[in-house]
Amino acid sequence: MPLSPSHTRDLLAKLGHQPKRFLGQNFLVDGNIVRKSLELAGVKAGDAVVEVGPGLGTLTSALLQAGAEVWAVEKDRALHAHLTETLALEHRTLHLLEGDAVEHPLAGLPPERAAAGFKVVANLPYAISTPWMDEVLGGPLPERMVLMLQQEAAQRYVAEPGSKQFGSISIFVQSAFAPDRGHKVAAACFFPRPDIESYLLNLARRPQPFVFAPAVKQLIRACFQQRRKQIGSLLRGKLPDDGAAWLALFPAAGLDARARPEDIPVALWQQLRV
């Protein structure tokens, strides 16, 4: 599959396809980054791998050549047709789904296969990164995720309490996954070149991942929508005891009811009950 700007441009022209900005269609054209993605994910023969937005199949081809069985979801009808006529015909281990990745976050991976363990390796379309991640965090959880992301999104996912980037998605991601060694990615590694910086984020599932109940997630999101307010006032009327039981845990962390959402550590958020 194409691994240079010229080959990618030629194939797109042959297909009569114009990259769609709203779908985040910046195609990977650097073989080193493809190899780095597989290396960070530890992809080996027999692995079940989910890919989001396979595009022209550059990363998909590498996964298949490594012996992985791949479940991929592609929203663009023309690209889905191209992959169906090329890679899917050549590889029985490629399961290709046409659809929205937020609606199909695991690309149709069967529940029994997911239960046996799987990984996610994807050049994630920037526009859907957070809603897609939110769906994945509902489980079943992959053993590892290696995701090409907008650098700003990657920073939000691994942000520390007290920083401006720290938010509800930081809490949800870090409760289930631990960041591992990642890799910065230059704009020249894509065609067309994106206007933003990219990062290859490497997340390993924690030995005992914590998954928030939907009602708790909703409350945490509501708190961060008014992140400059004190947590005591934010909880007023939201919980039967106005959060008194939870707030009683704050002094041990050096905090009180005047703390703002961004100051509260992940471990404390995990003890919130609705």
What is 5-205's CATH number? 3.40.50.150
Q: Is the pLDDT of residue 25 over 90?
A: no
Amino acid at 83: L
Q: 33 CB contacts (<8 Å, ≥6 apart)?
A: 148, 183, 185, 189, 200
Task: State whether residue 37 is helix, strand or coil.
Answer: helix
Q: Given a cut of 70, is residue 2 above it in pLDDT?
A: no
Measured distance CA(9)–CA(30) in Å, rounded: 14
Mean pLDDT, range 183-203, rounded to an integer: 92
Q: Structural domain boundaries of the chain?
A: 5-205, 214-269
Under a CB-based contact definition with an 8 Å cutoff, are residues 191 and 8 in contact?
yes
With a CB cutoff of 8 Å and minimum separation 6, the contacts of 55 are: 25, 27, 28, 74, 76, 79, 123
Return the pLDDT at 21. Answer: 67
User: Over the chain, what is the mean pLDDT?
Assistant: 94
Cβ–Cβ < 8 Å for 188, 148: no
What is the pTM (predicted TM-score) of this model? 0.93
> Percent of the chain at pLDDT above 90?
84
Give the residue carrying structure tokens 């007290």: 162
The CATH number, out of the four listed (1.50.10, 1.10.8, 1.10.10, 1.20.1740), of the domain defined by the range 214-269: 1.10.8
Q: Over range 42-67, report the average pLDDT.
A: 96
DSSP per residue over 58-114, as a string? Answer: HHHHHHHHTT-EEEEEE--HHHHHHHHHTHHHH-TTEEEEES-TTTSTTTT--HHHH
d(Cα 79, Cα 148) in Å, to the nearest integer? 19
Tell me: the pLDDT tens digits for 118-177? 999 999 888 899 999 999 999 999 999 999 999 999 999 999 999 999 999 999 999 999
Binned at pLDDT 50, 70 and 90, residue 16 comes out as confident
Cβ pair 2, 11 in contact under 8 A: yes
